[in-house]
């Protein structure tokens, strides 16, 4: 007999593997197609009989880079599906719930990716949920006539479904942690800023994202957000602003233009950074507040952090980078502080690539995350900060080191020795799974010791190298120079 659960929409049947029950491809909203394109997600429809939930749902349309293994070949605007892994079914289990929002620059990815398989994390007594959401122009277009932030509304719809149904899957709707990496972390921050999300989650984790704006970001709102400007161009190239007609445009046409207008191709003389990306959430004082975090009470605990060599995911050690690239990137990322930044970088014996790594990682990830940490603490949130530095044998072999996204497989426990992981990696993964699940359970991360809560008078962080340990928080001169611009 296969495991079954009852949702408000109907009965579902999953499968058991290695003691973990999994339900795949569960719809949490109606397909956002046709007249529902560029609208808030509608509640899912009911079904009669038994729905077999053993296959992942389609991913949102995207041009998939080789490093993404989505575990589904189907791509469709009909993409609003979630997956659940749980060690126990039924209301009596009352397990903490962890809802994962994937990254990919709002252009790529799906909750079905192999690195996000929730079985090992669920074995810690957690109900794990991974979700899809609308990407690119499908989820982040901002038509002035009807609103914006459809991707964030998709997250809220998924959390609403969790609140209404997760007890049947062994989860406690009163103990929900949202966690995400990169664009997923930006989405977690978006949920903190979304009044409609208040009460739907109780803890938040942001991995390599979700910080304050970068130093060179405009300090005023006199210009429209990039997503708004790109939407105007998108609609113009599709034939006009008649939404009835635009909702009939073939998916492939929108997907192609979405990618073309995305900012994924860097300007001349620069390298790609997330700061170039166009399709991102828009603070609109409707879905997303422009100040503070009305989606979260002040007692809500927050964990955030970064990895040492974030840039090496985006630009590879095997590439060729002219010296002029450093100056172009310093001016693009640090604005008025660029001369001081360049002087600091040149004072060290580094290759151009190493200097790009330091510049990019500090300007895009470290300084913004530290600024966010200070802000969360000032607002009264219990905040915990980490620095991930573990380099696997494979990371050493490729010289990609602790690159952006390298922490994900450790968190989910999805390490494969064939992919150049060893026993130290497994021990680090065990410690990180312990910390993440204990945070979901109690609001305090722990991995053999309780991680230090951020205290601005004596700041400490958790450093995750070959082991996890508490260290005093120290900023580099480069970080301090960049912070002076903010």
DSSP string, 165-213: HGGGGTEEEEEEEEEEETHHHHHHHHHHT-GGGTTS-SEEEEES---PP
> Rounded to an integer, what distance in angstroms lies between the CA atom of residue 195 and that of residue 140?
18
Cα separation, 325 vs 267, in Å, equals 11
Q: How would you class 68 by CB atoms within 10 Å of its CB: exposed for 0-12, middle for 13-18, buried for 19 or more? A: middle
Q: Exactly one of 77, 167, 212, 310 is catalytic; which is it?
A: 310
* Tokens standing for residue 27: 């719809």
Active site includes 354?
A: no
Out of 175, 182, 392, 429, pick the active-site residue: 182
Reduce the DSSP state of residue 15 to 3 states and report it: strand
Bridge partner residues of 13 (DSSP):
4, 52
The secondary element (H helix, E strand) that includes residue 388 is: strand 383-388
Given 404, 406, 429, 447, the catalytic residue:
404
How far CA 75 is from CA of 56, 58, 107, 141, 325, in Å, comes to 11, 5, 13, 19, 36
- Residue 229's nearest CA partner among 151, 141, 289 is 141
For residues 125 and 128, what is the distance between their CA atoms, to the nearest angstrom?
9
Active site residue 113: no
Q: Does the active-site annotation cover 344?
A: no
CB 328 within 8 A of CB 171: no
CA dist list (Å): 136 to 61, 92, 279, 321:
9, 40, 6, 29
Q: Which residues contact 180 (CB under 8 A, 6 or more apart)?
A: 100, 101, 102, 103, 186, 187, 188, 205, 206, 207, 209, 210
**Edge-to-edge, what's the strand order for the sheet holding 11-13?**
4-6, 11-13, 50-52
User: Nearest 5°: CA angle at 336, between 335 and 339?
Assistant: 100
Q: Which positions are catalytic?
A: 182, 310, 404
């Amino acid at each position: 007999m296969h495991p079954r659960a009852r949702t408000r929409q109907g009965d579902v049947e999953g499968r058991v593997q290695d003691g973990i029950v999994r339900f795949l491809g569960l719809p949490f909203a109606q397909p956002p197609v046709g007249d529902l394109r560029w609208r808030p997600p509608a509640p899912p429809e009911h079904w009669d009989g038994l729905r077999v939930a053993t296959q992942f749902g389609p991913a949102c349309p995207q041009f998939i880079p080789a490093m993404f293994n989505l575990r589904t070949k189907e791509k469709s605007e009909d993409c609003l599906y979630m997956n659940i892994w749980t060690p126990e079914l039924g209301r009596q289990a009352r397990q903490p719930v962890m809802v994962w929002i994937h990254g990919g620059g709002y252009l790529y990815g799906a909750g079905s990716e192999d690195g996000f398989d929730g079985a090992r994390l669920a074995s810690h007594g957690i109900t794990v949920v991974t979700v899809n959401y609308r990407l690119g122009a499908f989820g982040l277009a901002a038509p002035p006539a009807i609103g914006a932030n459809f991707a964030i509304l998709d997250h809220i719809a998924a959390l609403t479904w969790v609140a209404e149904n997760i007890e049947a899957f062994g989860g406690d709707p009163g103990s929900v942690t949202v966690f995400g990496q990169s664009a997923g972390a930006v989405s977690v921050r978006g949920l903190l800023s979304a009044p409609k999300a208040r009460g739907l989650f109780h803890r938040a984790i942001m991995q390599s994202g979700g910080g304050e704006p970068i130093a060179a970001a405009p300090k005023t709102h006199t210009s429209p957000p990039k997503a708004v400007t790109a939407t105007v161009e998108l609609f113009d190239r599709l034939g006009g602003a008649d939404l009835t007609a635009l909702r009939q445009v073939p998916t492939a046409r929108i997907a192609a233009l979405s990618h073309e207008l995305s900012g994924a191709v860097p300007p001349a003389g620069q390298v790609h950074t997330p700061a170039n990306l166009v399709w991102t959430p828009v603070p609109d004082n409707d879905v997303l507040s422009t100040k503070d975090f009305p989606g979260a009470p002040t007692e809500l605990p927050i964990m955030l952090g970064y990895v040492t060599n974030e840039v090496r995911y985006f630009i590879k050690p095997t590439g060729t980078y002219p010296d002029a690239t450093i100056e172009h990137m310093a001016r693009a990322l640090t604005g008025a502080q660029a001369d001081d930044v360049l002087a600091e970088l040149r004072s060290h014996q580094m290759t151009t690539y190493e200097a790009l790594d330091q510049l990019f990682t500090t300007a895009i990830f470290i300084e913004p995350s530290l600024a966010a940490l200070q802000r969360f603490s000032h607002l009264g949130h219990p905040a915990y900060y980490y620095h991930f530095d573990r380099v696997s044998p494979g990371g050493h072999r490729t010289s990609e080191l602790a690159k952006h996204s390298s922490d994900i497989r450790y968190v989910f426990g999805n390490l494969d020795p064939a992919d150049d992981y060893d026993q130290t990696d497994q021990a680090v993964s065990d410690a990180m799974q312990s910390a993440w699940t204990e945070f979901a359970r109690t609001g305090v991360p722990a991995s053999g010791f309780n991680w230090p809560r951020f205290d601005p008078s004596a700041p400490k962080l958790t450093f995750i190298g070959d082991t996890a340990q508490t260290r005093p928080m120290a900023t580099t001169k480069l970080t301090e120079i960049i912070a002076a611009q903010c």
